[in-house]
Each structure stands twice: as C-alpha cells, then as structure tokens.
Amino acid sequence: MSSIEPIQFGTDGLRGRAGHAPMEPETLRRVGAALGVLLQREGEGGQRRVLFGNDGRASSSWILESLVQGLMAAEVSSGSVGVVTTPALALLTASGPYDAGIMISASHNPAHDNGVKIFGADGQKLTSEDERELERLANELAPESLSEARVRSSEKLVLQYEGLLGQRFADLDLAGRKVCVDAANGGGSIIAPRVLRMFGADVVEVGCRPDGSNINDGVGALHPEALAPVVREHGACMGICLDGDGDRGIFVDETGAVHDGDAVMTFFGARMHAAGQLPGGVVAATVMSNLGLHEALRRQGVEVRTTPVGDRHVVAAMREHGFALGGEQSGHTLFLEHDLVGDGLYTGLRILDALGGGDMSSAFSAFQRFPQRLVNVEVRSKPVLETVPAVAAKQREVEAALGGQGRLLLRYSGTEPKCRVMVEAREKSMCDRLCDELATVIRAELGA
C-alpha cells in the first residue's frame, strides 16, 4: 500500500486544491471504493447506482473518472448528468433509482479548487457517522487503477428537476417581467436562465458562460455588487446571484440593493408566520446571522433559534423540531417543503412568486442590518484559540467593549486554513476598529 495522507471529511465533504490531497486520483479512487463497499453492505440485493453531477470546473472530468474507478472496483454503476447545481442533483438522486449522489464541486471556492459532496438515497448529506465509516474504509482500501471508467450519460434527467420546479410554482407567470441571473459561471449556468424563461421571464444573463476556469471569478453570490448595475441598467424587477454550485442565493432588488440570506429569512419568516405556516413561530439560523435578523423577526413575534455554522446543522435543527424555515446569512435558505435542500434558484422563484409584481425593495424593507465586519485571516495552524494567550486576552477586551450591544464570533473555517473574525456593533466605526484589532493579533500569533 502506497503512502497517502489520512482521508478526513470536512464540514461539506472533501475539498481542496485539485491535484493535491485529498483531491488527487489515488485518494479519490479510495473514496469511491469505500462508498461502494458501504452501499453494497447496506443494500438489499440488486445493482447499486450512483448519480454524478459537477459545476463545470476543468478538473471535474478526471475527478469523476477516479471516483468511478473506485466504485467499479466495488461493482457499483455510475451515471452523470453533467454540469448541474447541487440542489438539482440532490433532488434527482432522491427521486430516482439511486443509492447515492456525488456532486463534484468546490462551491464558492476558486476554479483551482474542487471537492466532493456525497448524498444518500434520500438526497440529504451523509450523516457524520456515515462519513466516519467512509473515512475508515477509504484509509484501508487500495483499489487498483482501472483502464477505463464507465459512466452512463444521464443529462436528460435535468429536465425532471425543471419539471419539479414547474409543478411547485404552477401559478407563477413572469411574462412581462425582466429578471437578471448571475450563475457564477458554474452549475446553474444552463439551468437557471432556462427555468426562468420557462415561466415567461425576459432573462438577462451574467456569469452563465463557464469555461472551466472562470467559476466565481468576480461573479456570482460572492460578488453580487457586479449584478447591481446590470439590474438597474435593464430595469429588471430582480437579480438572482447563485454561487458556483447553486445552493446559495443572494438577491438584488430593482434599486440595485443587495439582500443576503438574513434578509430573505426576515421576509419569509414574517410572511409565513402571518399565514400560520411557521410551526412554533421559529426560524432556524446559524450564529453567523446578523443581529438585525433577530430584531426584525422579534418585532413580528418570531423567534430565531441559532445553530452552529453550516447548513447541515440548520437542517438537523429543522428536522428535529419540525421548523419550516431556516438558513444562513451566506445565502443557503432552507424550506421544509423543498425537502430541506438549499437551492438558490428555488428561493429566487419563491420570492418572485410572493412579490406578485410588487417591488422587492419595499417587501424587504423590514430587515435593517447591524454594521458587521468579517475578516478572514490565513493561518499556519489551528490551535484552540483559548489556548493562545494574546488572542484570548484580546477576545475578552473586544467582548467587554461591545458590552452587550453587539457580538463577536471567532472560529476557524471548516474548509480552508483561515480564522474568521466577525464583529457586529450598532456603530460601524466601533465594529471596524474592534474587528481589525483582533484580526491583527491573530495574524501576529498564527498568521501563515
């Protein structure tokens, strides 16, 4: 057995620089073989099937080949829908004769990165227990490299996803309405404009020409400011910004103002509560959500229940307590009736349906953001922050300065070598100063 770094799943599957561990052929063959063994062990007779999709990165083809070789070693067959969004793949996996789905994507990361997200037969992300078992198996197996990976083309399956959206918004008529869509040159580049036109919209496309290397490059949910002038120039009623794999949605109103996941949850939380569609009067959101979300929904009689960062934690809370709405500031918005699948395009359609021709700017006016500053500090290692004296002392100083009129969130990224420093305060000057001071200390103590 050759030397290989231990395989460990992060907060959203495997992710890293394409061509480097864990995103290199030998590791990926092991992951494919491990999944195949797990599926064969848990199934009850018959051929095991896995459905693939990708967000258009140049490295996707050889990553697919490596994973399929591992699956073939475990006698599991594979099909691929090609370039697609993560939510479309998840829903197609759940609705078809598939035992698992694999999305090849690094989401909002640059084109030189890639990743693997694995879904169960129900279209939901694997449990932590299943991921730990996959890690164990992948670190033990050593499948041989096969000469040719056999993958069935299943690209027409995407039409089933589009049909599902057509059914869920059967009364939506966008005729005479102009909508701008920015798909980040990623998985939604083909689907998103086509679906909007299916409902009769006049569509203006931005970031819908993937070439394998331009995903998230100045476009998409990470750069919604790029779509704002386009919306104003074309007199559009709304702009939809997706991230690379389409599970996030950030939106631009007719004035060019940008609205993130907190604004979306405020809009739907108040609306669904008034309609008696919000069990317990609760919305689930992560600790990253802005204090403005809490204040705006409190005024509407809605409680915000917080979870750790990551949409899987929001999903777990929603499933456990029966919540109908949840999400993240970053643009993951989760609806119980959409099978708890984050889907930026679905969220956009739902906003358009709710507006009914009215102005988005007026409908979204209830959310007023607290000044917030987020700084990502690249780090060389990730020790427990409380054990770094200078960092711990500065953290206490910042929290004392906020005095209950703001908040500090300090954590490591689960997918990148970064420490995230986020400060909210009622005054922008204080917010910026405290965030920068703490980031400076972290950079001095742990900086790469």
Name the burial class of residue 244, with classes exposed (0-12), middle (13-18) and buried (19+) by CB atoms within 10 angstroms of its CB: buried
Distances 423 to 212, 252, 294 between C-alpha atoms, Å: 36, 24, 16
Q: Which residue has the higher pLDDT, 445 or 127?
A: 445
CB 232 within 8 A of CB 361: no
Rounded distance between C-alpha atoms, residue 235 and residue 90, angstroms: 34
Angle between helices 291-299 and 261-274 (to 10 degrees): 10
At 148 the pLDDT is: 83
* Per-residue tokens: 395: 């953290």
Rounded distance between C-alpha atoms, residue 110 and residue 116, angstroms: 15
According to DSSP, the residues that pair with 377 across neighbouring strands are: 419
Rounded distance between C-alpha atoms, residue 117 and residue 126, angstroms: 9
State whether the Cα torsion 438-439-441-442 is positive or negative.
Answer: positive
According to DSSP, the residues that pair with 182 across neighbouring strands are: 206, 241
DSSP 281: G
Q: Is the pLDDT of residue 143 over 90?
A: no
At 303 the pLDDT is: 97
What is the phi-psi region of residue 246: left when phi exceeds 0, alpha when psi lies from -120 to 50, beta otherwise? left
Residue carrying structure tokens 């049909």: 163
E-assigned strand segments in 256-387: 258-259, 282-286, 303-307, 325-327, 333-335, 372-378
CB 37 within 8 A of CB 134: no
The pLDDT tens digits for 207-258 are 999 999 999 999 999 999 999 999 999 999 999 999 999 999 999 999 999 9
Q: Cα 362–337–186 angle (5° rounding)?
A: 75
- Contacts of residue 11, Cβ cutoff 8 Å, sequence gap at least 6: 309, 310, 312, 414, 415
* Per-residue tokens: 172: 């939506």
The pLDDT tens digits for 360-390 are 999 999 999 999 899 999 999 999 999 999 9
Quick one: average pLDDT of 105-134?
94
At 142 the pLDDT is: 80
* Per-residue tokens: 268: 């739907």
107 is catalytic: yes
DSSP 243: -
Q: Is the pLDDT of residue 428 over 80?
A: yes
CB 224 within 8 A of CB 200: no
Q: Which of 78, 80, 105, 107 is catalytic?
A: 107
- For the chain, give the mean pLDDT: 94
- Contacts of residue 8, Cβ cutoff 8 Å, sequence gap at least 6: 22, 135
Pairing of strands 178-182, 238-242: parallel
* Per-residue tokens: 295: 């204040």
User: What phi and psi values does residue 106 have, to the nearest 5 degrees?
Assistant: -110, 25
Q: Is the pLDDT of residue 72 over 90?
A: yes
Q: Is the pLDDT of residue 43 over 80?
A: no
pLDDT category at 310 given cuts 50, 70, 90 is confident
Rounded distance between C-alpha atoms, residue 299 and residue 318, angstroms: 22
pLDDT category at 95 given cuts 50, 70, 90 is very high
DSSP 13: B
At 2 the pLDDT is: 43
Q: Which helix (H) or strand (E) holds 182?
A: strand 178-182
Quick one: average pLDDT of 49-53?
98
At 169 the pLDDT is: 97
DSSP string for 198-236? HTT-EEEEES----SS-TTSS-STT-GGGTHHHHHHHT-
pTM over 0.85: yes
pLDDT category at 4 given cuts 50, 70, 90 is low
Q: Is the pLDDT of residue 347 over 80?
A: yes
CB 246 within 8 A of CB 186: yes
At 361 the pLDDT is: 98
pLDDT category at 1 given cuts 50, 70, 90 is very low
Pairing of strands 258-259, 249-253: antiparallel
Rounded distance between C-alpha atoms, residue 78 and residue 50, angstroms: 5
Q: Cα 266–271–272 angle (5° rounding)?
A: 105
The pLDDT tens digits for 274-287 are 999 999 999 999 98
Quick one: average pLDDT of 349-354?
98
CA dihedral 78, 79, 82, 88 (to 10 degrees): -100
Q: Is the pLDDT of residue 314 over 90?
A: yes
303-307 sheet: strands from edge to edge:
303-307, 282-286, 325-327, 333-335
Quick one: average pLDDT of 339-345?
95
- Contacts of residue 220, Cβ cutoff 8 Å, sequence gap at least 6: 108, 182, 183, 184, 185, 186, 207, 241, 242, 243, 244
Question: What is the three-class DSSP state of 173?
Answer: coil
